[in-house]
Structure 1
Amino acid sequence: MIKQHLIYKRDKWNMLTVEENGKTLILREISDQWGEECHTFLSRPAMMHWAENRFRKEDFTDNEEEYNAIMAAFKEV
């Protein structure tokens, strides 16, 4: 059974989802700038490492609430 988590969705062109498929985590990031990127992780720590590098706290100095919401959503996966 596949379980899908929505990390964020700004509109139909800017969103990030994570699918749990057994032990595999499939992350899909869709942006109007880059199209769709897909990453596959075999563990939650590997996914969190990617998330911490992709969403660096320094990039959200003006919007710390958004950063905290994104990281909280990743931790719920």
Structure 2
Amino acid sequence: MMKKHEIYKKDKWNMMTVEVQGRYIVLREISDDWGEEAHTFLSRPALMKWAQNRFPKQSFQDNEEEWERIINAFKQV
């Protein structure tokens, strides 16, 4: 059984989904800057480490609620 999570979505060109496929966690990131990128993680801690590097809290100083929403969405995976 595969679970799919929509983490973040601005529009159809800027979004992120995470699928849990057995023991793998596959993250697809679609961006109008660099197209589609897929990342595969073997554990939730690895996914969280990536998420915290990809969304550094400092870059959300003006919008900490947005940062918390994104990080909490990753924690739900």
TM-score using structure 2 length: 0.97
Residue 35 in structure 1 maps to residue 2 in structure 2: no
Aligned mates of 1:8, 1:40 — CA distance in 2: 17
Q: Which residue of 2 aligns with 1:57?
A: 57
In structure 1, runs of 5+ residues without a counterpart are: none
User: Percent same amino acid among aligned pairs?
Assistant: 66
Runs of 4+ more than 3 Å apart: none
Q: Counterparts of 2:58 and 2:30 in 1: how far apart (Å)?
A: 22
Instruction: Output the CA distance in 2 between the equivalents of 1:29 and 1:56.
Output: 16
Task: Describe the superposition over 1:41-70 as per-residue Cα deviations: whole angstroms up to 9, x where unpaired.
Answer: 000000001001110000101111110000
Q: CA RMSD in A?
A: 0.5
How many angstroms apart in 1 are the aligned matches of 2:65 and 2:9? 15
1:45, 1:15 → 2: CA distance?
A: 21
Query: Structure 2: which 5+ runs fail to align?
Result: none
Q: Distance in 2 between matches of 1:63 and 1:31?
A: 20
Corresponding residue of 1:26: 26
Q: Deviations over 1:17-76 (max 9, x none)?
A: 100001100000101111111000000000001001110000101111110000000000
